[in-house]
Amino acid sequence: MNIYVLLKRTFDTEEKISLTGGKINEDGAEFIINPYDEYAVEEAIQVRDAQGGEVTVISVGTEEAEKQLRTALAMGADKAVLINIEDEIENGDQFTTSKIIAEYLKDKEADLIIAGNVAIDGGSGQVGPRVAELLEIPYITTITKLEISDGNVSVTRDVEGDSEIIETSLPLLVTAQQGLNEPRYPSLPGIMKAKKKPLEELELDDLDLEEEDVEAKTKTLEIYLPPKKEAGKVLSGEIKDQVTELVQLLRSEAKVI
């Protein structure tokens, strides 16, 4: 089976993020595989081990993403592709990324494409569905279980805490939700093997794309941190007085009643 994983290099949002000039400050920031894409890599490896075939991991970005691609190879993926657009595109958006990935995949005869449900930095959840639309294949988002047998696919998806079971067939794109699996850590032999696994680097030219073909459709006007949380107010005194004060505060300060 021909399996592709879409992998994004993202900020580690567990770390402190700072802004400089309206942009996220990359100096000193930690970068990781988008956590939902780790589920995608793990699922792809499990499907390949059960069904046979090959797992290729694709990332659109800069050469720094090579580190995250090598980690996916160390987990057990077979090949990686880095579409390096650093020198060609200054401002990309979800359209840019999806168009590039779809252009790469259009003649690859992918049976299964697994993306993350959402990137923890950009957070739009658009890239997976956009790629499927461009390739004109079905897609199912936020999946928590994937079973494939003789080309028939049964998928369980998370619908805001409830589950939905969908039966379909390949080719298919799915997006991984938390709970799909427990991503493995790369083993030491895995890390050694990963150094020799193929990592292809492509540019827009290699995909017959011009900059204007992938020009962003949206413009980010501003990026800002959420307002600081103010300390809560603790009322004291007789309960009756506290209730009166609370009602007054809700009216005059919070202005919610």
What's the CA gap between 222 and 224, in Å, rounded? Answer: 6
Coil, helix or strand for 48? helix
Q: How far is the CB of 147 from ligand FAD (least distance, A)?
A: 21
122 or 245, CB closer to ligand FAD?
122
Inter-axis angle of helices 35-51 and 66-75, nearest 10:
40
What CA–CA distance (Å, rounded) separates 78 from 198?
A: 8
Supply the DSSP symbol for 32. Answer: E
Smallest distance, ligand FAD to C-beta of residue 138, A: 17
Instruction: Go through the chain and tell me how many residues it has.
Output: 257
- Measured from the CB atom, the residue of 86 and 241 that comes closer to ligand FAD is 86
Residue nearest to ligand FAD (CB): 122
Given the complex with ligand FAD, which of 64 and 245 has the nearer CB atom?
Answer: 64
Nearer to ligand FAD, 23 or 228 (CB): 23
Residue 4 and residue 37 in contact, taking contact as beta carbons nearer than 8 Å: no
Closer of 36 and 139 to ligand FAD (Cβ):
36
Residues 190 and 194: their CA atoms lie apart, in Å, by 6
- 99 three-state secondary structure: helix
Residue 196 CB, shortest distance to ligand FAD, in Å, is: 23
- The answer to whether 6 and 32 have CB atoms below 8 angstroms apart is no
CB of 140 to ligand FAD, least distance (A): 14
Residues of this chain that interact with ligand FAD (CB under 6 A) are: 6-8, 34, 36-37, 40, 58-61, 85, 89, 91-94, 97, 115-116, 118-119, 121-128, 220
Query: Cβ of residue 201: shortest distance to ligand FAD, in angstroms?
Result: 14
